[in-house]
A and B are shown apart, each in its own frame.
Chain A
Amino acid sequence: MINRVLQFVAILRRNGIRVSTAETLDSVEASLLTGLADRDTFQSALRTAMVKRPVDIPVFNGLFDDFFSGMGRLAAGLDENDTAPANPAEYQELLDRIEKLLDSLGDEISPLARALLLNDQAALEKILRELADSGKVPAPKSPSSQQGAVRAAAKALGVGGLSQELERLLEAAEAAGNEESELEQIRELFNERVKQLGEMLKSLVKLQGRYESSEEATPKEKDRLLDKSFYYLSPTEIKEMRDAVAILARRLRNLLALRYKRAKRGRLDVKSTLRHSMEFGGIPFRIRYDRRKRERPSVVVLCDISDSVRTVSRFMLQFVHSLQDMYSRVRSFVFVADMGEVTRLFAENEIQSAIQQAITGDVVNVYAHSNFGRAFSQFHRDQLDTIDGRTTVIILGDARNNYNAANDWALRDIQQRARRVIWLNPENRSTWGFGDSEMQVYAVHCDVVEECRNLRQLYKVVDLLATT
């Protein structure tokens, strides 16, 4: 049993569930306590000791099913696919007759043929499991190599010899005085079962592949998403990314909370200590520390939502607004050629639908040509008061200004009032300043300019924000 559990742990690890040695020991101990009689209880016992994250539970359940009942389910296929016997009594009689024949032949017939003919699922499951554990079935690396694996499996089982065994069985049957039609029945049943065995082997190989192929896929998958440029995300990837950004936001929140907590513990506050010592007759029993004021920064986000950077803007908006409670105030604006405020949308709607509304032209015309200069001067005219010394301004855009006036004085004024200005550019750094890119002009008035093309770079930006 321990071996089985260890194999299972290896499979879990390969599928991204981290199970420590101590946890393995716990799970063995737990399953000894509950016993193995009830499958669900056994599963519960292993799960409670091995799986510690709710997200891993479905993965665990799937693997558990495959690993501990996969073969059983395969063997059960024998019954399901059965060519429903027209007459159960007749069928039973046929089985009885075959059994008698098999008994008379003894060792001449292999266990495999016997299990197949008698519909013995337990025996078949055992044979299949031994085959799977023997390592004779190569795990297919790709769908195309599956056939080869199936052939290898069939060879390991000795499927080729089955037809000879059938002949011997038929001979014996004839000798025992069976009629031609009865022989035909046996032959038919046998061929049907061999066909089913083929199907089973195919599923077995697939099952085997599932354990192996996931070996490297998981980390790779993650990396792929990390480094993939926001430009080329498919709709499903955008969805995955949404979750990733949510997790990122949560992590940063914990980090910030901890930092605030630490900042709260300040230096000795003599005044307060003396005051409180009055309670104890002038003896300073309780030392007081001055609590540094918790200064929550406010954030203003300016997002370019023209076609080229819309995806990045989407994540930035999601990110900043999931962190709303960490800042004293978050205000967001979107622009293409005109600047429009979208803060209200986030207050009234669920975050994803707010983002959707913000970037699909409900607020500003998204079909205009990008005009950073115009947008900045508008912001300068209407919103400059919102920026004070505690405000971090985050600008997201490619700075492709379509050769309009840059109006960099507006950005300069913004920077002078703000705590700092961070510019995130979703374009490759090497293209900045070429063509209609005004990045070099604007960069002068920014405290930080970062490339933000993929999730990994977004992580970096997050760290930057955390050090506010």
Chain B
Amino acid sequence: MSTEFVPFESIDDVSTRLSGQSYICSRNIATVVFLATRLGKPVLVEGPAGVGKTELAKVIATATSANLIRMQCYEGLDEAKALYEWEYAKQLLYTQILKDKIQDVTKGTSTLAEAVDKLTAEDDVFFSQRFILARPLLQAIESSEPSVLLIDEIDKADAEFEAFLLEILSEFQVTIPEIGTIKATTIPMVILTSNNAREMSDALKRRCLHLYIDFPTEELEREILRVKVPEAEAGLAAEITSMVQSMRNLDLKKAPSISETLDWARALVLMNVSALDQETANETLSVVLKYEGDLRKGEKELKAYANKKLEALNKAEDDSQDEEEAGKQDSDANGGQLH
């Protein structure tokens, strides 16, 4: 690693450095990240899909110039895939190539038992770190440089794996029977994410700090949009966010998340749209809503939203012809608050 690891100094430092990586976070997130680095505790991040849970781990790694070690969980994930595995093929290959050498070692023995004894003495050549395939957990423990260990979607793994993980997270050491115990020299920062497909065990939760990332507030979302899709004009960004915010209040199968907001903004920018009218909104709504039933509800909401906007616009026009622009902005604000 070329750059030096730089730990966070304060909560504000977390905020500024994460936003330097174009990750806009609330004060709450910054506080938890800061505390986690200081207390050396794992963080369990929960929240709806697409609010930037995984992204958080990535930007922490880049912001502190630490290694990111990622482990994706899935059903059936076991120790061999998560911790370490012997490289059988390599071991076999070596024994084949070194056949002559092995014969040298066993030369001069008269009985089979003697030969085996001799070979056994050389055992640790084959069961050494050389033949171990380090999986993410072992990598994180072995790493002498500071690292961020991201355990993604822990809820997808089985409960047994969770128990196993618990042991690793509390000790940060691994015992490999043939080699011995490997202890971490630098404790990695651990971030676990969960989509709540299943409730995590109390024991795991107790050991972790907890962070719940919800959908952002309207201002925060606008800020995120400004940083991530700078091409979108302020007016359009405001309309998109207030629209998405109001859609989250509908009873949808899948509420639009930040990534959907960003996709929508990018799509509209690509289409050279500078202001959201009902027609373009309807056409592009499938970017935001992913289910047929949701789309229908979303369209209805769009219509209501457009009507409200029109009303507010007319009213503003009645008040004063000149202040049309101001009236439009007013209506935006109204649209966002109506739910």
Q: Determine whether A123 belongs to the interface, using a CB cutoff of 8 Å to chain B.
A: no
Picked from A23, A57, A285, the residue with its CB within 8 Å of the CB of B92 is A285
Using known A-B contacts A41-B31, A49-B209, A285-B88, determine if residue A30 contacts B39 with beta carbons closer than 8 Å: yes
In the assembled complex, which residues on chain B have CB atoms less than 8 Å from the CB atom of A272?
none
Using known A-B contacts A41-B27, A285-B92, determine if residue A22 contacts B35 with beta carbons closer than 8 Å: no
A26 to B209, CA, bound (A): 9
Interface string of B82-107 (1 = CB under 8 A from A): 00000011001000000000000000
Chain A stretch 233-292: residues in CB contact (< 8 A) with chain B: 250-251, 253-254, 257-258, 261, 280-281, 283, 285-286
Q: Determine whether A188 belongs to the interface, using a CB cutoff of 8 Å to chain B.
A: no
A111 to B47, CA, bound (A): 49
Interchain CB contact under 8 A, A257 and B75: yes
Least CB distance from B291 to A in Å reads 9
From A33, A57, A250, name the one whose CB has the most chain B CB atoms within 10 angstroms. A33
Q: Determine whether A54 belongs to the interface, using a CB cutoff of 8 Å to chain B.
A: yes
Interchain CB contact under 8 A, B196 and A48: no
Interchain CB contact under 8 A, B35 and A34: yes
Picked from B38, B46, B211, the residue with its CB within 8 Å of the CB of A33 is B38
In the complex, how many residue pairs between chain A and chain B have their CB atoms under 8 Å apart? 82
A57 to B205, CA, bound (A): 15
Chain B stretch 165-200: residues in CB contact (< 8 A) with chain A: 196, 198-199
Contact residue range for chain B?
35 or more
Picked from A44, A258, A286, the residue with its CB within 8 Å of the CB of B88 is A286
Using known A-B contacts A26-B41, A250-B198, A280-B92, determine if residue A45 contacts B35 with beta carbons closer than 8 Å: yes
Chain A stretch 280-327: residues in CB contact (< 8 A) with chain B: 280-281, 283, 285-286
Interchain CB contact under 8 A, A48 and B75: no
Interchain CB contact under 8 A, B206 and A22: yes
In the assembled complex, which residues on chain A have CB atoms less than 8 Å from the CB atom of B198?
250, 253-254
Q: Determine whether A40 belongs to the interface, using a CB cutoff of 8 Å to chain B.
A: yes
Chain B residue nearest to A54 (CB atoms) is B212
A340 to B122, CA, bound (A): 74
Q: Determine whether A225 belongs to the interface, using a CB cutoff of 8 Å to chain B.
A: no
Q: Determine whether A221 belongs to the interface, using a CB cutoff of 8 Å to chain B.
A: no
Picked from B31, B76, B202, the residue with its CB within 8 Å of the CB of A48 is B31
Q: Determine whether A95 belongs to the interface, using a CB cutoff of 8 Å to chain B.
A: no
Q: Determine whether A162 belongs to the interface, using a CB cutoff of 8 Å to chain B.
A: no
In the assembled complex, which residues on chain A have CB atoms less than 8 Å from the CB atom of B108?
none
Chain A residue nearest to B47 (CB atoms) is A54
Picked from A45, A52, A261, the residue with its CB within 8 Å of the CB of B31 is A45
A40 to B39, CA, bound (A): 19
Interchain CB contact under 8 A, A48 and B209: yes
In the assembled complex, which residues on chain A have CB atoms less than 8 Å from the CB atom of B199?
53, 250-251, 254
Interchain CB contact under 8 A, B27 and A52: no
Interchain CB contact under 8 A, B32 and A48: yes
A23 to B202, CA, bound (A): 12
Interchain CB contact under 8 A, B35 and A33: yes
Interchain CB contact under 8 A, B39 and A29: yes
Residues of A in contact, count (CB < 8 Å)? 35
In the assembled complex, which residues on chain A have CB atoms less than 8 Å from the CB atom of B212?
54, 57
In the assembled complex, which residues on chain B have CB atoms less than 8 Å from the CB atom of A258?
158-160
Interchain CB contact under 8 A, A34 and B210: no
Q: Determine whether A20 belongs to the interface, using a CB cutoff of 8 Å to chain B.
A: yes
Chain B stretch 46-87: residues in CB contact (< 8 A) with chain A: 46-47, 75-76
In the assembled complex, which residues on chain A have CB atoms less than 8 Å from the CB atom of B92?
280-281, 283, 285
Interchain CB contact under 8 A, B76 and A52: no
Using known A-B contacts A29-B39, A45-B35, A48-B210, determine if residue A350 contacts B253 with beta carbons closer than 8 Å: yes
Interface string of A19-38 (1 = CB under 8 A from B): 01011001001100110000
Least CB distance from B197 to A in Å reads 8
Q: Determine whether B34 belongs to the interface, using a CB cutoff of 8 Å to chain A.
A: yes
Chain B residue nearest to A23 (CB atoms) is B206
Interchain CB contact under 8 A, B27 and A44: yes
Interchain CB contact under 8 A, B35 and A52: no
A125 to B76, CA, bound (A): 57
Chain A residue nearest to B92 (CB atoms) is A280
Q: Determine whether A166 belongs to the interface, using a CB cutoff of 8 Å to chain B.
A: no
In the assembled complex, which residues on chain B have CB atoms less than 8 Å from the CB atom of A29?
39
Chain B residue nearest to A57 (CB atoms) is B212
Least CB distance from B201 to A in Å reads 11
A283 to B44, CA, bound (A): 44
Interchain CB contact under 8 A, B46 and A54: yes
Chain B residue nearest to A279 (CB atoms) is B89
A285 to B88, CA, bound (A): 7
In the assembled complex, which residues on chain B have CB atoms less than 8 Å from the CB atom of A226?
none
In the assembled complex, which residues on chain A have CB atoms less than 8 Å from the CB atom of B88?
280, 285-286
Interface of A toward B, CB cutoff 8 Å: 18, 20, 22-23, 26, 29-30, 33-34, 40-41, 44-45, 47-49, 51-54, 57, 250-251, 253-254, 257-258, 261, 280-281, 283, 285-286, 349-350
Give me 20 other A-B pairs in contact (C-beta within 8 A), A30-B35, A45-B31 excluded. Answer: A22-B206, A34-B34, A34-B35, A40-B28, A41-B27, A44-B32, A47-B210, A48-B31, A51-B210, A53-B199, A53-B205, A250-B199, A251-B199, A254-B159, A254-B199, A261-B76, A261-B158, A280-B92, A349-B293, A350-B253
Q: Which 7 A-B pairs have the closest CB atoms?
A: A52-B205, A44-B31, A52-B210, A48-B32, A48-B209, A44-B28, A30-B35
The 22 listed contacts between A and B (C-beta, < 8 Å) are: A18-B202, A22-B206, A30-B209, A34-B11, A41-B27, A41-B31, A44-B32, A45-B31, A47-B28, A48-B209, A52-B202, A52-B206, A53-B199, A53-B205, A54-B196, A250-B198, A253-B198, A258-B158, A258-B160, A261-B75, A286-B88, A350-B293
Interface of B toward A, CB cutoff 8 Å: 11, 27-28, 31-32, 34-35, 38-39, 41, 43-44, 46-47, 75-76, 88-89, 92, 158-160, 196, 198-199, 202, 205-206, 208-212, 253, 293
